[in-house]
Amino acid sequence: MPPADLVLGLLAGFGIAVVTTPVGVSGAVFLLPVQLAVLHVPNPAVTPTNLLFNVVAAPGGLWRYRRRPTSGGVAEETRRLTRLLLRGTAPGVVLGSIVRVHLLPGPRPFRVVVGAVLLAIGLWLVRRVLAAPVGRPPLGALTTVALAAVVGVVGGVYGIGGGSLLAPILVGSGLSVAVVAPAALASTFVTSLVGAATYAVLATQVSGSIAPDWPVGLACGLGGLLGGYLGARLQPHVPTRALTLLLGVLAVALGATYLGLAAR
C-alpha cells in the first residue's frame, strides 16, 4: 500500500468521524465507498477492514463522551440502552459475517446490499429531519433487542457495526441524542470486535481475501480515533438537525450510486 494512500485513508477517517460521531455513528458506513473506489480494498476483505476501523476509531468518541458532564439519569439510561443493544447486535454480527462470506462474496450482490442499506438510512434520516416532530412512545426492551439483532446481521454483512442504523431509529423513537450517541457508539465498538474476531476465524476456513487489510484499517482507524474525539467534543455546539440532514442526503446519494453500479 503506497504511503500516500495510507495518508488519504487517515484523512478520510478523520473527516468522516468528525461529522458522524456527534450523532452516534462511527462513520464506517461512509468510509466503505472510499475503501472500495479509492483505496481498492478487495471483496470481501473490505467488510472486516471496516470493522477494524470501528475497533480503532470508536474509543476516541467514547472517551470524550465518558468525560462529559451528565446527570445521573442520562448516564443510567445510556448504560441500560447499551446493554439492550449488545444483547442483539453481538450475536447478530456473527450471523451476518457468515452470510457475507458464504452468500455475498462477489462485488455485484454486495453492491446491492450496500446501496439498499445506504438508501434506507438516508431516506430515514431525511424524513425524520423534514417531518414535523411527533411524540412517540419509547421502544420496549424486547423490541429494542430484536431491532439490534437485525441491525447486527446487517452490520456483519456490511461491516458497519450497526450504529448508523440504530442511532436514527432510536432517536426517531423519542430518545435523546445525548443518550443514543454514546450507547450506539459503544454498541458499534463491541459488535465490531466480535465481528472482526468472527472474520479472523472464517479466514482460516475459507479461501480468498477475507482477512482485513491491516494497513488501511489501522490508518483509517487512527484518523477516526482523532476525529471521533473531536466530533464528540463538538456535539453540544453542532446543530443536530442540520448535521442529520447532511448525513441523510449523503447516504441517499451514495446508495443510489451503488445501486446504479450494481445494475450495470
C-alpha cell at 59: 474509543
Number of neighbouring beta carbons within 10 Å of residue 10: 21
DSSP 40-57: -PPTTTHHHHHHHHHHHH
249: Cβ–Cβ under 8 A, 6 or more apart, which residues? 122, 126
Confidence of residue 143 (pLDDT cuts 50, 70, 90): very high
The stretch 89-107 carries a mean pLDDT of 80
Q: pLDDT tens, 184-239?
A: 899 989 988 988 888 888 877 776 667 788 899 999 999 999 999 998 888 778 77
C-alpha cell at 35: 475503501
Domain residues for the domain of 52 are 3-263
The stretch 89-104 carries a mean pLDDT of 83
Q: Which stretches of the chain are DSSP H helices?
A: 3-20, 28-37, 46-67, 72-103, 107-130, 141-158, 163-172, 177-203, 214-234, 240-263
pTM here? 0.80
